[in-house]
Amino acid sequence: MHVPDGFINAPVSAAAGVVAAGAVAVSLRGARRELDERTAPLAGLVAAFIFAVQMLNFPVAAGTSGHLLGGALAAILVGPYTGVLCVAVVLLMQGVLFADGGLTALGVNVTDMAIVTVVVAYALFRGLVLVLPRTRRSVTVASFVAALVSVPAAAVAFTAIYALGGTTDVPLGKVLTAMVGVHVLIGIGEAVITMLTVGAVIAVRPDLVHGARGLTAPLKLRVDGELVDAAPAARPVAARSPKKLWIGGVVTALVLAGLVSFYASASPDGLEKVAVDQGIAGQAKPHAAADSPLAGYGVKDVSDARLSGGLAGVIGVGATLAVGTGAFWVVRRRRAAAPAPTATEAG
């Protein structure tokens, strides 16, 4: 759903840029409360993993494909504020290095693919977790539903932005119907990927899943016929390093981007297909980074398509991991340097 330059006029693109910048600023502050020495590296990994999986377009209908947006996945794994930053980092790297998503449309893409998906997904996820049984399975079920809904929500948001600043005279009803229709199908793929990933992390390190915190009910003991909370363990379990999970995640991302991506669907994604069908595609402008050595997810001057795409994917994962981890490490250090919150603020 990467919006290219030219689809949205300059004033609305600028306004979306202001919204996106404000949301990123708020998220930087909020992420200071979500990140610690264990979750900061995981956040960088989440960004790199989303980059890798976004290269894996999957077919959803005749002549149309879709790919992960990642807002729900990021919010559930590392928190909503950090989740916005994860997706924003991915979009920035894609736009600057790979000419994917317009640079003047970066604010539109961050607003649509990072802010809307995270807000909708995490709000729905938290609501479901509150009413479902307090189990790990409930977290995976809630993640499926949240991810499924977040994708058509982003499609609706794009239509709203297009209504304000679209550069072609196309009936909005047709755009909305086409966008929501195809992105409901894409949302199913998003939901499956999100559920499987969240479930896999919960299976090995539930303590690192932001959305699973506080879901374990206290152990109950029957004393004199009444159920009471058991006393906490005398010796707390030491916090384990996420090193093994981090290494496994990085290897997985590299394999997906470097090898599996070659077999991704070549069909246009949902927005591209709708743009062609509705006569919007002609408004797209050449990308400012079209001459980038990695434009189009291939390495310039490497003739072998498999090798070119694989190298580009590996470079993209490495660059996203480095930028994301560095940014989140800085945010975490700012948290460590900040004054400790009062009891009121902590509550």
> pLDDT of 50-109, one tens digit each?
999 999 999 998 799 999 999 999 999 999 999 999 999 999 999 999 999 999 999 999
Cα 220 to Cα 131, 212, 216, 223, 226: the distances in Å are 21, 20, 12, 9, 10
Q: Give residue 152's pLDDT.
A: 98
Write out the two tokens for 126: 């938290």
pTM: 0.90
pLDDT band of 234, cuts 50, 70, 90: very low
Write out the two tokens for 14: 């600028």
The residue-averaged pLDDT of 307-319 equals 98
Distance CA 102, CA 107 (A): 9
Indicate the residue type of 237: V
Length of the chain measured in residues: 347
Write out the two tokens for 233: 């363990």
- Contact of 284 with 7, CB cutoff 8 Å: yes
Q: Give residue 173's pLDDT.
A: 95
* Residue 231 CB-density burial (10 A; 0-12 exposed, 13-18 middle, 19+ buried): exposed
Distance CA 212, CA 214 (A): 6
Cα 64 to Cα 54, 186, 280: the distances in Å are 15, 10, 16
Q: Give residue 61's pLDDT.
A: 84
pLDDT band of 236, cuts 50, 70, 90: very low
Distance CA 29, CA 81 (A): 8
> What would the pLDDT profile of 158-180 be if each residue is shown by its tens digit?
999 999 999 999 999 999 999 99
Q: Give residue 237's pLDDT.
A: 42
pLDDT band of 228, cuts 50, 70, 90: low
What mean pLDDT value characterizes the chain?
91
Distance CA 291, CA 275 (A): 24
CA angle 38, 41, 44 (to 5 degrees): 145
Q: Give residue 241's pLDDT.
A: 80
* Residue 220 CB-density burial (10 A; 0-12 exposed, 13-18 middle, 19+ buried): exposed
The residue-averaged pLDDT of 299-308 equals 95
CA angle 150, 155, 156 (to 5 degrees): 95
Least confident range of 25-29, 190-194, 208-212, 219-223:
219-223
- Contact of 21 with 107, CB cutoff 8 Å: yes
> What would the pLDDT profile of 116-158 be if each residue is shown by its tens digit?
999 999 999 999 999 999 899 999 999 999 999 999 999 999 9
> What would the pLDDT profile of 259-292 be if each residue is shown by its tens digit?
999 999 999 999 999 999 999 999 999 999 999 9
- Contact of 84 with 25, CB cutoff 8 Å: no
Least confident range of 28-32, 146-150, 333-337:
333-337
- Range 10-215+242-341: architecture per CATH: Orthogonal Bundle (1.10)
pLDDT band of 332, cuts 50, 70, 90: confident
- Contact of 229 with 28, CB cutoff 8 Å: no
- Contact of 54 with 91, CB cutoff 8 Å: no
Residue 330 exposure: Cα atoms within 13 Å on the Cβ side: 8
